[in-house]
Amino acid sequence: MANVGFIGLGHMGKPMARNLMKAGHRVAGFDIVAGAAAAAGTRAVESASEAVRKADAVITMLPSGTEVRQVYLGEGGLLLAARPGTLVIDCSTIDVTTARQVNIAAAARGLQMIDAPVSGGVKGAEDGTLTFMVGGEESACEAARPFLGSMGRNVIHAGAAGNGQVAKICNNLMLGVAMIGVCEAFVLAEKLGLADQKLFDIVAKSSGQSWALTSYCPVPGPVPTSPANRAYQPGFTAAMMLKDLILAQQAAHAARAPAPLGAAAAATYSLFAAMGHGDLDFSGIITMLRGGRPAEPQPAP
Ligand code: NAD
């Protein structure tokens, strides 16, 4: 069993750290929010550098590239504090450029580093069923498998450093565009008098079928577990989808890759978030396309 330093114990980091401890690892935790590391059940320490100093492996689960730069490269950054040979795993979803730059800085310090963003959300983190998309040296990916295997079900090596982030933003680009397409089709069918369930039954067996339809249906009824059945409580928030669509747009501009539907999806989610619905599930965008409101707030009892 190993000593693990875990930095960023928010919605995702907390259950991930718990699963590492369940697997027998000793976890030292740090988060800028007082009490978050202790609430996760880790041995709470005072700084990122203290969390990594004696660690065999380090895992970070931070909001964005800004925090990753600060925690890795900033004053008292973890790259200076970790022992040479330490395995460093960044599970945050961040921009590809930062992922690659931090990886180079880690290698220069003699650390093995991978980017390993996840799919599966908070439920996947709690159940230990996440999918990890890994960028970096094959040997570092293999070294990380026992740790990632305690927190998830699938570990897929995507190639060189940063390719985990490439896979993640491409996945969410497809998902964001697909979800809006599914929502537009339901709204059109409703206006033309075709029942939601009928459309679902037909398209689920036709060429328009997609995960957004058959696993995460944006109307209540056809898929009982989808957020549509609980007034679009997340799930995966519209704000998170917007963040990933913006990352995809930035990468597309930098690579000169045309992504006009990704741009339209980002603009549509940005409007939904600006209307105050960023904390609803991303499938709730159907309510905006209908011209209605998501669930009305309930009066206090
Ligand atoms: P979160 O905001 O709940 O957690 C991030 C944690 O990092 C917070 O507790 C915050 O206090 C801490 N933090 C910020 N700056 C820090 C610093 N300098 N030092 C130490 N701690 C710091 O976010 P989350 O929902 O857990 O998501 C984390 C990452 O996972 C994001 O990159 C997100 O895009 C990605 N992700 C989230 C989901 C999801 O469903 N929530 C799904 C897939 C991927």
pLDDT, tens only, 43-100: 999 999 999 999 999 999 999 999 999 999 998 899 999 999 999 999 999 999 999 9
Residue 150 CB burial class (10 angstroms; 0-12, 13-18, ≥19) = middle
Dihedral pair phi/psi, residue 133, rounded to 5°: -110, 110
Is residue 301 pLDDT above 60, yes or no?
no
pLDDT, average across residues 128-152: 98
Reported residue count of the chain is 301
pLDDT, average across residues 219-228: 96
| Residues in CB range of 136: below 8 A, 6 or more apart | 103, 112, 113, 114, 115, 160, 161, 164
Delimit the CATH 3.40.50.720 region(s) of the chain.
3-160
pLDDT, average across residues 24-34: 97
pLDDT at 164: 98
Domain at 166-290: CATH code? 1.10.1040.10
CB 121 within 8 A of CB 235: yes
pLDDT digits (tens, 9 = 90+) for 148-173: 999 999 999 999 999 999 999 999 99
pLDDT, average across residues 270-297: 88
pLDDT at 123: 87
Bridging pattern class, strands 118-119 and 57-60? unpaired
pLDDT at 298: 42
Note if 54 is an active site residue: no
248 Cβ closer than 6 Å to some ligand 1 atom? no
Q: Quick one: what percent of the chain has pLDDT higher than 70?
A: 97
Distance CA 9, CA 20 (A): 13
- Comparing CA positions, the residue from 22, 34, 26, 21 lying closest to residue 2 is 26
Atom of ligand 1 nearest to the CA of 36: 9
Distance CA 196, CA 189 (A): 7
Cα-to-centroid distance, 192 and ligand 1 (Å): 42
Distance CA 164, CA 259 (A): 20
9 Cβ closer than 6 Å to some ligand 1 atom? yes
Element at 39 (helix H, strand E):
helix 36-39
pLDDT, average across residues 260-265: 98
Compute the mean pLDDT over every residue in the chain, rounded to the nearest whole number. Answer: 95
What is the architecture of the domain spanning 3-160? 3-Layer(aba) Sandwich (3.40)
pLDDT digits (tens, 9 = 90+) for 184-223: 999 999 999 999 999 999 999 999 999 999 999 999 999 9
Maximum alpha-carbon separation in the chain: 65
Delimit the CATH 1.10.1040.10 region(s) of the chain.
166-290
Given CA atoms 171, 173, 177, 180 in this order, what sign does their dihedral have? positive
Cα-to-centroid distance, 13 and ligand 1 (Å): 7
pLDDT at 292: 74
Atom of ligand 1 nearest to the CA of 13: 26
* Bridge partners for 85 per DSSP: none
pLDDT at 295: 53
- Which of the residues 14, 168, 198, 205 is marked catalytic? 168
What pTM value is reported for the model? 0.94
